[in-house]
Structure 1
Amino acid sequence: MTGAIVQSSLAITLIGGGPVALRDLRACVARSDRVVAADGGAQAALRAGVMPDAVVGDLDSLGPAARARLAGRLHPVAEQDSTDLDKALRAIDAPLILGLGFLGGRVDHTFAALRSLAEDRRALLLIGRRDVALHLSRPIALELAVGDRVSLCPMGPVRGRAMGLRWPINDLDFQPMGPIGTSNAALDRRVTLDFDGPGMILIVPRRRLGALIRAVSNWAR
């Protein structure tokens, strides 16, 4: 991405200001070589003993003490027409982005994060305490356990095909105010999904984070 503030050839952990589990932060940092905080996410990083490489946002959630510790790493973006997640996404470039602190907090913040996810075409995973969300901008093959929850939440009209799901989706016209696919389940250990266009959000249990990372590992190739 031209003009990116932080670049990585491996992965970037992106931390927001919402709930962040320490085990998730450690798991993501272990898979990344750079850490970026979206505004108040810097506080969560510092509390966990992680020094972010950069902090991006309007920075209205950072107090004087945090600003002093983060001197030289702050990248303020003053405009108020986008969220801190949007600002941070514009500032980073990596084949894999692991986003923490954007799900499971305020409902309006979660909705805005899912909208941002649906607008992005990269391998961007938003990780909550119970779930992992991914925009299915490309076909995907997942290794899951039989019975794993597989939810499909359209952010726009979209059709697709799947193999390995308990309830077929091949004849459905998904749309936000029409048919959606929450609480489907894996019927086989291998689940494949392919949609005709952008807009479908896949949500699987947090314990399948590793499987989801493996599944998107070839998207940037």
Structure 2
Amino acid sequence: MTRILEFDAPVALIGGGAAGPAELEAALARAPRVVAADGGANLLAGRARKPDAVIGDMDSVADPARWRDDPEVRFVPVDEQDSTDLEKCLRLTRAPLYLGAGFLGGRMDHSLAALHALLRHADRRVVLLGAHDVAFAAPPLWRARLAPGARVSIFPLAPCRAHGSRGLRWPLDPLALAAGSVIGTSNEAAAEEVTLRFDGPGAVILLEPRFLDAAIESLTAAPLSTRAG
């Protein structure tokens, strides 16, 4: 059985998908530890900062021997195809916060799989960085300092109920959310602070990249979901 890797500081999770320099640098600048999800190791190959671990089925790593033979890198092959490399990383590590780059953008199926992983691990603090969004699973009580006019999109991956919203242009009081029924995308902050409550896991919140630090602060202060999807 593979041992869980424990980190006492935020982790930059680097995936093998589309990751621009801005997202990559933002994640690495805010997290002292680094874990590459399979092909994400390729994005780190030309950098002085090596990953603490490379985790995945290793089908996309350009030079597996480089990492396998490095005594400073934990090389963790996982020979199963029932979960994504992002899910494998979350399953085999523990950290107070994850900042993921290389999971949003590019192929739509990869982005959808990354959002699926957020729901599956809604009891963890994970922020995914993309060129146009930062995304994270909505905690039971979410409070963030944004700015009037800031985009606040709420998309339900599974049925859930939002209530007690404050600071939104279009309040959700209460509103049953479900894909194919009612969603909450393209909402806006109407005040400097936005508050939302949810009856359980199910929703993903998407903000503009300029509010990455606000997203991190809000998740760090929020209670975690007690059950995942």
- Shared fold, TM over 0.5: yes
Aligned to 1:60: 59
Q: Could you tell me how far 1:10 is from its partner in structure 2?
A: 1.9
Partner residue, 1:134: 136
Q: Which amino acid aligns with 1:69?
A: R
Q: Is the 8 A contact 1:8 1:33 kept in 2?
A: no
> For 1:162-189, what per-residue CA distance to the aligned partner results, in whole angstroms no more than 9, with x for missing partners?
1000011113210011000110000001
| Match for residue 197 of structure 1 among 197, 200, 207 | 200
The whole-number CA distance in structure 1 between the counterparts of 2:223 and 2:198 is 18
Deviation at 1:207, TM superposition (A): 0.8
Q: Work out the CA distance in 2 between the residues paired with 1:92 and 1:43.
A: 20
Q: Which residue of 1 aligns with 2:227?
A: none
Question: Which ranges of 4 or more aligned residues in structure 1 deviate by more than 3 Å?
Answer: 47-50
TM-fit CA distance, 1:27: 2.3
Secondary structure of the residue aligned to 1:114 is helix
Structure 1 distance, partners of 2:194, 2:159, is 22
Q: Shift in Å at residue 116 of structure 1?
A: 0.7
**Structure 2, unaligned stretches of length 5 or more?**
225-229
* Distance across 2 between alignment mates of 1:37 and 1:48: 13
**8 Å contact from structure 1 (residues 130, 205) kept in 2:** yes
CA contact (8 A) 1:123 1:219 kept: no
Quick one: distance in 1 between partners of 2:9 and 2:196?
Answer: 25
SS in 1 for 2:65: helix
Q: Secondary structure at the match of 2:175?
A: coil
Where do 1:94-109 residues align within 5 Å?
94-109=95-110
Deviations 1:128-154 (A, max 9, x none): 011000101331111111101000000
The number of aligned residues is 217
Paired residues for 1:49-88 under 5 Å: 49-63=48-62, 66-70=63-67, 71-72=69-70, 73-88=74-89
Residue 28 of structure 1 deviates from its aligned partner by 1.8
- 1:140 touches 1:193 (CA, 8 Å); kept in 2? yes
Distance (whole Å) between structure 1 residues aligned to residue 33 and residue 142 of structure 2: 26
Query: Gaps spanning 5+ residues in structure 1: where?
Result: none
Q: Which residue of 2 aligns with 1:30?
A: 29
Query: Quick check: 1:22–1:48 contact (8 Å CA) kept in 2?
Result: no
Partner amino acid, structure 1, of 2:192: R
1:164 to 164, 167, 171: 167
Q: Using structure 2 for the length normalisation, give the TM-score.
A: 0.90
Q: Distance in 1 between matches of 2:128 and 2:23?
A: 11
Aligned AA for 1:68? A
Q: Give the aligned partner of residue 179 of structure 1.
A: 182
Identity of aligned residues (%): 45
Root-mean-square deviation over aligned CA pairs: 1.7
Give the structure 2 partner of residue 148 of structure 1: 150
Please list the CA deviations of residues 61-102 of structure 1 after superposition, one character each: whole Å capped at 9, or x if unmatched: 123xx2232124321000111111111111111111101110
